[in-house]
Structure 1
Amino acid sequence: MSVLSTGTSALLAFQRALGTVSHNVANVNTEGYSRQRVDLEARPGQNVGAGYVGSGVSIQKLQRLADGLNFARQADSSGELGRLKQLSTYADRLDGLFSNSSTGLATPWSNFYGTVKGVVSEPGSSIARGAMLDSADQLAARFRAMDSQLTSMGTESDQRLAAQVDVANQLATEIAKLNEQITTSGSNASPDLIDQRDLRIDKLAALTGAQVVPQDDGALNVFSGGQALVLGARAGKLTLAQDPYRADRKVLSMDTPGGVVKLPSGSLSGEIGGLLEFRERVLDPARADLGRMATAFAVSMNTQNRAGVDYTGAAGADLFSIVPPPVNANALNTGTASFAASITDVSALKGSDVELRFNAGTWSAFRSGTGQALTMTGTGTAASPLVVEGVSLVVSGAAANGDKFTLRPTSEAAGSLQLIQKDPNKIAAASPLTAKIDTTNLGNAKPGTMQVTDATQFASFTTAQIDFIDATHYTIDGGAPQVFTPGQPIAGTSWSMAVDGTPEAGDSFTLSRTPAKSTDNSNARLLAALDDKTVLDGGTMGMTTGLSRITSRIGSDSANAQMNLEAQQVLHDQITAERDSVSGVNLDEEAADMLRYQQAYQAAAQVISAADTMFQTLLGAVRR
């Protein structure tokens, strides 16, 4: 009987081992499967007086071959890889939009200023003026098209974000259920259940990032950015809540028993984190920068065109229209305050969103996202508007303590840019004034740039006489003496004139209105030079340089994201290879194990056969 028992134990053990090998082979291509192995141990021997005789073999345990440290590294890597994939994909598309000559601004920008130079060459040509307006319309249309593309990318990323949040919630729910099944099973939990849980955790990590915390009962808690996504058998729920400042945007939140809680920016990694990072750190700044360029272009062109006179002899008017900066109230505000915003200083424009807060009767400004305090002047009245980063704000209504608003200085500008002047004769190519120098002048002063400062009053202007009493004082049409400051223009009621050189006592200039159909190109030359005029960043950077810098920055962001993605992919492949070396199924190794266990099974069968022969011999002896 001892031989039979020993052989039977071997037969059962090798049968289980063969079943495990078969299970490994069957799951060689199953995602997330970890190789299993049957660990055998000898049964305790029996004391037969002369010593101990072995009693066979038993199955110690079914072992799942996996490395917990490698699993944690894989979860971290999956989160970072997911983040970089989304960031790189969308950043590359954004780079293509700005850098491609068919979709970017460089070509229509260059074409427009080329046609302005055509008006400089032929200020009286209706063909040259018409070409300038056509190219202006095309440039405005390109600004709008690019803004539309950016808006579409934002909508697409938001839709993908919503879809990935649903998937993440489903995975968290499945992980919680598997935690419950595994903890219920205790130490006898199926390795296949553990594989299923680890696979879902890895997929969740790719979406949100994950830090895995093992529990004593066998459960795994999953956190991301400090947020609990899975706690034992309970799953958290991500949701997209309404942005309190913008009706067109959702913000990532966590659904808690106490209500929906907005998650801080950058709290999650993975694909969801990558989508949020693209939206907040790449797309929004790109749209704001594009709007800043559109604003600077429109304001500069309008200001310069108003400074001259058109082909009809009238003061120049605006060529472009652009919407004023929107100011959005927080949905939780209790006051009735609202704002009317306007651009007053292009050189001070930053483009980034500004948060306005009202507390204790005082307005203050902060950079949205970072909370950096910003300088703001004024009281908010029409006579003393609030001014922050080149934007003037007039408050109406009554604000309550704690009310908040978000100022978006340029984010809507590019999409609203329109050419509003369709008449080629309305291009103000000529200087508004013609200046005659008295032949008896002793100084070397000469008239410089002249411009219209008040179109309404300029309509009735005819002539003006400027007489210098001495080098520092002058009169206009015999009026009261005024102080002349070198470098500062002389200002009339509707015009201004710069003075180049140094005047002396008795010098005089006679100013007259530039007539209709003038072929003067003084103001057209100034229009043509606006692309390089330093109107951005406090008057240190021209618009063409600013445009190149936007394209360069977006290209750099895309290249960095791609480079980081490639590096992370190499690291992830290494981690995956390390996992496969421990947990992956090797068919050659399994084939060798199968042959070995098959031979052992056959040998165990022979032991049972021998035991049967012994038993039959014993029975035969008894019968005789």
Structure 2
Amino acid sequence: MSIFSIGLSGLRAAQSGLYTTSGNISNVNTPGYNRELLQLGESRSSGVSVLGSQRQFNQFVATRLNAASGSLASLETYHNQVRQIDNLLSDERSGLAPVMQNFFSALGQMNSHPADPAARAGVLGTASTLVSQYKAFDSYLEDIERSVNNEISFEVNSINALTEQIATLNREILVARTGTGEAPNSLLNQRDQLVHELSQKLDVRVHEQKTGSYTISLSNGSPLVAGDSFYTLEAKADENDPTRTAVFYNDVSGHQRQLADSVFNRGSLGGLLEFRSKSLDTIRNQVGQMVVVFADAFNQQHQQGVDLNQQPGGQMFATGKPVAYSHARNSGNAVATVEIVNSSALSAADYDVRLTDTGYLVTRVDNGKEVTAAFDAATNTLSFNGVDVTLNGNAEVGDSFRIRPLAHQTQSFELLLSDGSEIAAAQSTASGDNRNGLAMLNLQNELLVEGSGTFSQAYGTMISTLGNQINVVQANLAAQQGLTEQLHMLQQAESGVNLDEEAANLIRYQQYYMANAKVIETATTILDTILQLR
């Protein structure tokens, strides 16, 4: 190789270095960009060969960062959602504790003057406010649940868009490698950035094939992306409870199956599902439990008294009805009906009833624990935790039913009395008798909620449970933020663009270019000198 060729190879190498450095500088703020380093090798004859630009990408660090980012997104989503409930419960104006206290205070004042119309009107007024406040709180929780359902649908649509783009990039990367034999760095960066965004939405497993394509699957092994193929998720009505939105998977054969919430351990979608199951459902059931116990206790006591019109006391409050849903894939035609038979034995939970080879199995939805239930074959009724579930029709083995005794109780919470004279504060027709009023007032001190707590204690437990959940989430969130930041710094140390370093490289390649130009200039001078000698 001549000195001219050697100089030209150096010029090409210097020019490639300038291109690589310029590309790094221009993409310093581009999300997902991995800096490139020029790879040079000694030519087989002489001079230098440009081997290409190597992408500074560490798959191990990227995988750890994706997992940490997914966990962080899950915790952030959970925290943002649960904070809405905490803000409402802690508000003195909209909280439930003050209205309950006001009601019992008004009841105490009426007992001091049982025949006073103003005192009786005060009881009805505070009772009406109590009912309205509970219904408003439940309506707020229902709005949150509706919003969560909508956000689940949005996240699923975003996931489908990302998996489709990744599958497309898999195909384009394979074509580019087949055509040139070189790694298409720009396409690789785009794909890894999409994988990072996908990891922030749900828990995925990423495997690189020998061809360079990514295979991406859910935590249960179901593929989302395989080569240039992708498989979609769908958000639609839960098969156990049509009022809720669940996530379904469309498999290779075109069949659709519902995915358990446990499949989504990370990501914003996982955070939404975890918030709904661990916080929102729990709070709604606890509020419904308090309403049922409160209304039932007052109705029973009120019916033992006599009002100012010398009439027996009637029911003071009304509540909603328990609901039961048949699983969408049930083989039999059995329908479940639910009745609350003992409000003090109610637990703040939903249940799944499933027919097995050995009989009916009852489990709590919130923790999956089996519940002891008594079955009456004569009436085809299951009894457990203060409820009776009657199955009408023929159930097949494998059929299941979602039982929700409390979730919709507060929606129909009503005050049935319209006039203060209807309050049955007496136990006889004697003037000034307030014995039944005192008995109703004393209900605030009785252990009526699950047989172990008063109304105020039950409300305190609800606040405490939510507070503990928030504290745990906040602690985990702070720790996860620190871990994610460390991994991000580690990833940037290897793959990020450092402008100071690139500026130095710019000067270095510029001098490299000028030096090789000088080689060519020197070669030209030598050649001219030789020609002049002839």
Question: The TM-score by the shorter chain falls in which range?
Answer: over 0.9
Bigger mean CA deviation after superposition, 358-367 or 340-349: 358-367
**Matched residue, 2:64:** 73
Residue 376 of structure 2 corresponds to residue 379 of structure 1: yes
2:391, 2:195 → 1: CA distance? 51
Greater share of helix: 2
Whether 1:577 and 2:489 are equivalent positions in the alignment is: yes
Q: Does 1:230 align with 2:225?
A: yes
CA apart distance, 1:617: 2.4
Larger deviation, residues 211-220 vs 603-612:
211-220
2:263 aligned counterpart, secondary structure: coil
Task: Give per-residue Cα distances to partners, 1:328-357, cap 9 Å, x unaligned.
Answer: 222233444334432221221012111223
Q: For 1:568, which of 455, 480, 487 is the aligned residue?
A: 480
Cα separation, 1, equivalents of 2:397 and 2:375: 19
d(CA) in 2 for partners of 1:598, 1:402: 75
Give the stretch that moved more between structures: 173-182 or 271-280.
173-182
Q: Does 1:83 align with 2:74?
A: yes
Structure 2 unaligned spans of 5+: none
**Cα distance in 2, alignment partners of residues 10 and 162 from structure 1:** 56
String of CA shifts for 1:370-405, please: whole Å, max 9, x gaps.
Answer: 5533222242767x8532210123444444444322
Deviation at 1:232, TM superposition (A): 2.3
Q: Please report how far the alpha carbon of residue 581 of structure 1 lies from its aligned counterpart in structure 2 after TM superposition.
A: 0.8
Q: Which has the higher contact order (CA 8 A, sep 6+)?
A: 2
Task: Specify whether residues 385 and 176 from structure 1 end up closer, same or farther in structure 2 by C-alpha distance, changes over 3 A only.
Answer: closer
Structure 2 Cα separation of the partners of residues 385 and 76 of structure 1: 47
The aligned residue for residue 511 of structure 1 is: none
Counterpart of 1:197 in structure 2 is 191
Write the distance in 2 (CA, Å) between the matches of 1:362 and 1:163: 40
Structure 2 residue 351 is the aligned partner of structure 1 residue 354:
yes
Asked if the contact 2:203/2:263 (under 8 Å) is kept, the reply is no
What is aligned with 1:244? 239
Distance in 2 separating the partners of 1:330 and 1:296: 29
Offset of 1:180 from its aligned partner?
1.9
Instruction: Summarize the alignment of residues 159-558 of structure 1 with structure 2, pairs less than 5 Å apart.
Output: 159-186=150-177, 187-226=181-220, 227-256=222-251, 257-268=253-264, 269-358=266-355, 362-368=359-365, 370-379=367-376, 385-431=381-427, 514-515=428-429, 518-537=431-450, 539-558=451-470
CA positional deviation for 1:97 = 1.7
1:8 counterpart residue number? 8
1:445-494 CA-partner distances (Å, limit 9, x unpaired) = xxxxxxxxxxxxxxxxxxxxxxxxxxxxxxxxxxxxxxxxxxxxxxxxxx
| Alpha carbons 1:221, 1:232 under 8 Å: kept | yes
Q: Quick one: distance in 2 between partners of 1:380 and 1:426?
A: 43
SS of the equivalent of 2:6 reads helix
Structure 1 residue 361: deviation in Å? Answer: 9.7
Alpha-carbon spacing, 1:361–1:25, altered in 2? closer, same or farther (3 Å): closer
Q: What's the TM-score, normalizing by structure 2? A: 0.95
Contact 1:33 1:584 survives alignment (8 Å):
yes
**Residues 82-132 of structure 1 deviation map (CA, whole Å, 9 limit, x = unaligned):** 111111100111111222112220111111111111111111111111110
Contact 1:79 1:210 in 2 (8 A): no
Deviation at 1:181, TM superposition (A): 2.0
Deviation at 1:369, TM superposition (A): 5.7
The worse-fitting range, judged by mean Cα deviation, of 243-252 and 161-170 is 243-252
Q: Which runs of 4+ in 1 moved over 6 A?
A: none
Residue 58 of structure 1 aligns with an amino acid whose one-letter code is S
Distance in 2 (alpha carbons) for counterparts of 1:370 and 1:288:
14
Aligned with residue 500 of structure 2, among 588, 605, 615: 588
User: Is this contact kept in 2: 1:183–1:189, CA < 8 A?
Assistant: no
Summarize the Cα distance change of 1:217–1:334 in structure 2 as closer, same or farther, 3 Å threshold: closer
2:125 aligned to which of 130, 134, 141: 134
Partner-residue secondary structure (3-state), 1:266: helix
- How far residue 191 of structure 1 moved from its aligned partner, in angstroms, is 1.2
Deviation at residue 263 of structure 1 after TM alignment? 1.0
Which letter maps to 1:81? L
Distance 1:600 1:352, change over 3 A: same
- In the TM superposition, what are the counterparts of 1:86-97 in structure 2 within 5 Å? 86-97=77-88
Q: Which has the higher strand share?
A: 1
Mapped contact 1:10–1:604 kept (Cα < 8 A): yes
Unaligned runs of 5+ in 1: 46-54, 432-513
3-state SS of paired residue (2:216): strand
User: What is the rounded CA distance, in whole Å, between the counterparts of 1:558 and 1:275 in structure 2?
Assistant: 15
What is the alpha-carbon distance in structure 1 between the residues aligned to residue 44 and residue 154 of structure 2? 58
Percent of residue pairs bearing the same amino acid type = 32
Q: 1:380 to 1:606 in 2, by over 3 A?
A: same
Deviation per CA, 1:565-594: give whole Å up to 9, x if none. 121111111111111111111111111110
TM-score, L = length of structure 1: 0.81
User: Following the alignment from structure 2 to structure 1, what is the Cα–Cα distance between the partners of residues 3 and 338?
Assistant: 97
Instruction: Work out whether residues 363 and 370 of structure 2, in 8 Å CA contact, stay in contact via their aligned partners in 1.
Output: yes
Question: Does structure 1 conserve the Cα–Cα contact (< 8 Å) formed by 2:202 and 2:267?
Answer: yes
1:380·1:394 contact (CA, 8 Å) conserved in 2? no
User: Structure 1 residue 284: deviation in Å?
Assistant: 0.9
Cα RMSD of the aligned pairs, angstroms, is 1.9
What letter corresponds to residue 41 of structure 2 in structure 1? Answer: E
User: What SS does structure 1 have at the residue aligned with 2:141?
Assistant: helix
What SS class does the counterpart of residue 315 from structure 1 fall into?
Answer: coil
Count of aligned pairs between the two proteins: 528
Pairwise CA distance, 1:359: 5.2
Q: Which amino acid aligns with 2:472?
A: N
CA distance in 2, matches of 1:340, 1:178: 52
Q: Is the 8 A contact 1:326 1:409 kept in 2?
A: yes
